[in-house]
Amino acid sequence: MQNGGIYIKVGQGLAAVNHILPKEYIETLSALQIGPEKGVMHLATAAIVNALLDLWARIEDKSVWKLLVDMTPDELVSTMDFRYIYRDTMTEEYMKGKLKQNEPRKKELEETIRQTGYPAYTTQAGWLGYTDEKVEELCRKSVQDSFKGFKLKVGNLADDMRRCKIVEEVIGYETKLMLDANQVWDVDEAITWMEMLAKYSPFWIEEPTSPDDALGHAEIRKKLKTHDIGIASGEMCANRIMFKQFLKCNGMDFCQVDAARIGGVNELLVVYFMAEKAGVPVCPHTGGVGLSEMILHLQIWDYICLSQTDENRMIEYVDQQYEHFRYPNEASHGVYQVPIAPGYSTELKQESIQDFIYSTSNSCQRFQDLKMQKKMKKIKRLETTLTEKKEENQTEKKDETN
């Protein structure tokens, strides 16, 4: 902070965030091993950097994707953080060269995506706990909405095979079916399980094992390659270094970067460049509050400036919590429409802020009231128990006297 405002040195990238807190605070936090570049500290970094980018775009009266697209290669690359990846993985020269090489098609691709939108897939029918009838009903609705990709959560093999069969019969063979294990298997277990599900031709298996096990992912990928099943992962990767490990050991076929977990757009774009260089398409993680909003801007930038294709690239659609945003990015007819409002599409409605802000909101008050009600009920039960115990003791004493 300086004179009540945040200042950032141009070209310093994420290191500029260090100026927001006094140096001794950062050293203390480092001493406590909160991080580095992971956990709550990095999530906070992402929140600050993303908020600053949103503010910058609003000042320029542009959507974030347009702000990024309109930057020169030198301007954009100057914002990025190359620590721990420079030379052995990525260089400024490669980034600038790639962006300059792609300049001639930018205008054409911008016009195209404004007309076509960005491809989306849906997880609406795929949640565990749904009845077979519910899965089929939601699948049919999503087919009518023109989604070309469907994702199912997996858990129990017998249930998985039955649910895959239901979805396959509804969506047909031309539509992509993705599976999501949410980190539940060991490496060997993931291979065995997926070999049994291979007959349903899944496009990918997402997070088949521990999200930190890059070598485990690489082993699973190697074994499932014969079945033409891709490996998708990355939503839990906290920084560019983790993606460096996954990409260098061939641990993923689809990069699922998370816009709120990585330390802001400066680091996110570095991951996009690393994935592009490795030939790995980015299909980002969404689903949390505001994730779908933010990541769409980055995918549009990628389409116009970096990969210049949407082949094997799509954004997850989860129909929840859009009602809290002023300019939500909703999908229809199987695609996300290009945002036109200034900013990062993350501006919340005032009524939602008032309803959920910590300590003073209506929701917080309801929660506190509920906690108090539970506490009073617990006290009442305890008083009742003590009264009953006291009466029981008095009865026993009378019996002994008699």
Q: What's the farthest any 2 CA atoms get from each other in the chain?
A: 105
Measured in whole angstroms, the distance separating CA 182 from the mean position of its chain's CA atoms is 13
> Rounded to the nearest 10 degrees, how much is the dihedral formed by the CA atoms of 245, 248, 251, 254?
100
Extract long-range pairs of 390-393: CB within 8 Å, 24+ residues apart: none
- Can 324 be counted among the known catalytic residues? no
Classified as helix, coil or strand, 18 is helix
CA angle 208, 188, 186 (to 5 degrees): 50
CA distance 55 to 397: 76
Q: Look at the chain and count its residues.
A: 402
CA distance 35 to 319: 33
Give 29-86 as a DSSP string: HHHTT--SSSHHHHHHHHHHHHHHHHHHHHHTTSBHHHHHHHS-HHHHHTT---TTTB
- Can 217 be counted among the known catalytic residues? no
Which of 66, 153, 217, 297 is flagged as catalytic? 153
CB 160 within 8 A of CB 197: yes
Residue whose structure tokens are 């290191």: 15
Q: How far apart are the first and last CA of the chain?
A: 80
Which of 151, 244, 285, 297 is flagged as catalytic? 285
Pairing of strands 254-255, 335-336: unpaired
User: What is the helix (H) or strand (E) element at residue 315, kind and residue range?
Assistant: strand 315-317
- Give the type of residue at 210: S
Q: Which residues are catalytic?
A: 153, 285
